[in-house]
Chain A
């Protein structure tokens, strides 16, 4: 298998790190070489964040290059467009429709684009929009947005459901295994 390139993007504090760690364990358990590159520190305080995940027979660089992502999972709508140029021609863009205003918008210095869905569709051939926040709320915990989105990502990667569940189990805190597994299967 050639190397799979995945980006998880969002806003610092949204829990994107957990998603990538689940993916890391999944790839490892399936015998692949795997590298992830995460964001710690400053950007985690509400900044634009990105995690790179790469797995395959042999992985050198920990970074996905512009134009090389097979899948992008965006936790926030505007962040989807910000990173869209990383997607390959036939790559899949999975977008959580949640909106979080960045400070320049809050102060009135800029506007939150109103036509994001069209713009994203214009840039990416395969787009999937999900209101993961509402899904998570229905499940009773808005923090499981990330496993709801993982459920969608799973449809675009070749791993068995049991493998996913195993990876979730060993990665998330014990008390949240049940709700996360439920969220994973909710779509």
Chain B
């Protein structure tokens, strides 16, 4: 049967068809939907782990125990999972293990633009890269075969344009795969120096073997010999751009991007007059191929930044001067906190009190821009907690009284807890704010250990954040309602001035969670409004100025009432 599928959905389908029985992940754009779709298959156990390192370890345990297992994350998630990942390369697997990682060239929804192919090279793990949804599905199955044939985890690398594009896929039956028998084997699985040293030799051997065999993987590494004047080596979505504008060029499409098929590449290079490498992000093919003494043109005409396009290839390789109209210069439209977002009230008060904040990854980054300007930093998950402690140690106790750390519920569980332990252990006095919106908001609302439900929708024990903070050694933990700015203000003043560490939990669900809630928009009474602009300070997209008047866009307002609390003249009223 043929149907149309998102790349991520096709990955999930591929896992299903390959007989996967365990799937683990931490959400992160653009990888999130893989696991959401996988959870839809009753034959597969699927979970959100608290972070990528845990997910990787759960997956490795499951594979060692004999199940075909997949683990998914975004590119920066691999950084978190890197510790077990590098050693999983040494232990190898038992049941097949596939690691799906989604890179984000162009940084549509990420804090950096790192290239996961480096991880494949660094950890000595083979990596496949599909170029559309149908390949995403079939490569998954192929990845499991390679994993088991070579006793290694296998990476599948995706990019935003593969993960979040839809194209036609061919569906097949699920393969029934028995659990592999488990046998205790300390030489294989206990990586202490005694056993790790011989394992390193095996890893090198395995990769050499794979590098040799890669030239025979003609289903993955395909050669389309046409006009021999120009040859192009490419992979993933750039392959599609190449085909779009250069249908007559000879193309070597790499479906396996690590290790590279040296023989195949040498052979291809010898048959074409001029050889180009078209790869987004880092010059990873280029550097290896150049090191073999093959002349190629790559990053001297292409960039290491952002996404490529068909137009770009037309210009850079075909040397065409395209007459492209420029984009109009218009006011930008950056993403913003939704109308009714619980974070807004917190940022409003922080700004009022002139308090700085080390921020974190999540919806709260949306409050970084004017007018709220709520955070000073955003680096990684958990960074909002630990960086705060660093600021305190650098500048002292008085200084830190004008600072807080911001972290979300999911992010706190991901890697904020250890930072909080550090604050208590090392005698910090910092105040951490957990903005608990009962979900993992930015990635599209996934459950997490604080929400009381798991990925399969079952009811599970709720992680009690207050009790947890107390157990860590925080004596002053208080819960506030972010829609009550007064309450937030009092709490912030008291806690930041304390000579002890403290935690303020701002608790209110993400506005988008309850789909059934009745939302009655507010309106501005033009008689009583004195145009003081106070309500504009909360940065609500629903409040706008039109012909000198302040009005509320009723298609956007959800009636959260925050603006009524900041209006000094009571001019904002409830609608019908």
Contacts and interface: CB of A to CB of B under 8 A. Distances in A.
Interface of A: 11-13, 21, 24-25, 28, 33-48, 59-63, 65-67, 78-79, 81-82, 84-85, 98, 100-113, 119, 123, 133, 142
Nearest to B6: A38
A98 B555 CA distance: 10
Interface string B153-174: 0000000010011111000000
A97 B330 CA distance: 17
A40 B165 contact: no
Interface of B: 2-4, 6, 29-30, 32-33, 108-109, 132, 161, 164-168, 237, 240-241, 243-244, 309-311, 322-328, 330-338, 363, 366, 369-371, 442-444, 536, 539-541, 543-545, 553, 555-556
A79 B310 CA distance: 23
Nearest to A45: B335
A40 B30 contact: yes
A47 B309 contact: no
Contact of A103 (B309, B370, B444): B370
A35 B167 contact: yes
Contacts of B331: 78, 102, 104-105, 109-112
Which residue among B332, B333, B369 has the maximum number of chain A CB atoms within 10 Å of its CB? B333
A62 B167 contact: yes
B398 to A, nearest CB: 32
Nearest to A48: B333
B309 A65 contact: yes
A13 B337 CA distance: 12
A113 B330 CA distance: 8
Contacts of B161: 37, 62-63
B334 A61 contact: no
A61 B241 contact: yes
B232 to A, nearest CB: 13
A85 B442 contact: no
Contact of B443 (A37, A41, A102): A41
B333 A42 contact: no
Given A41-B442, A85-B324, 7 more contacts: A28-B3, A39-B164, A43-B108, A62-B167, A63-B309, A65-B310, A103-B370
A39 B32 CA distance: 13
A173 to B, nearest CB: 11
B109 A41 contact: yes
A41 B370 contact: no
A106 B544 CA distance: 6
Nearest to B444: A40
Closest 10 CB pairs of A and B: A41-B109, A41-B29, A47-B335, A110-B331, A102-B333, A62-B165, A85-B325, A42-B109, A48-B333, A60-B243
Contact of B33 (A40, A61, A63): A40
A47 B166 CA distance: 21
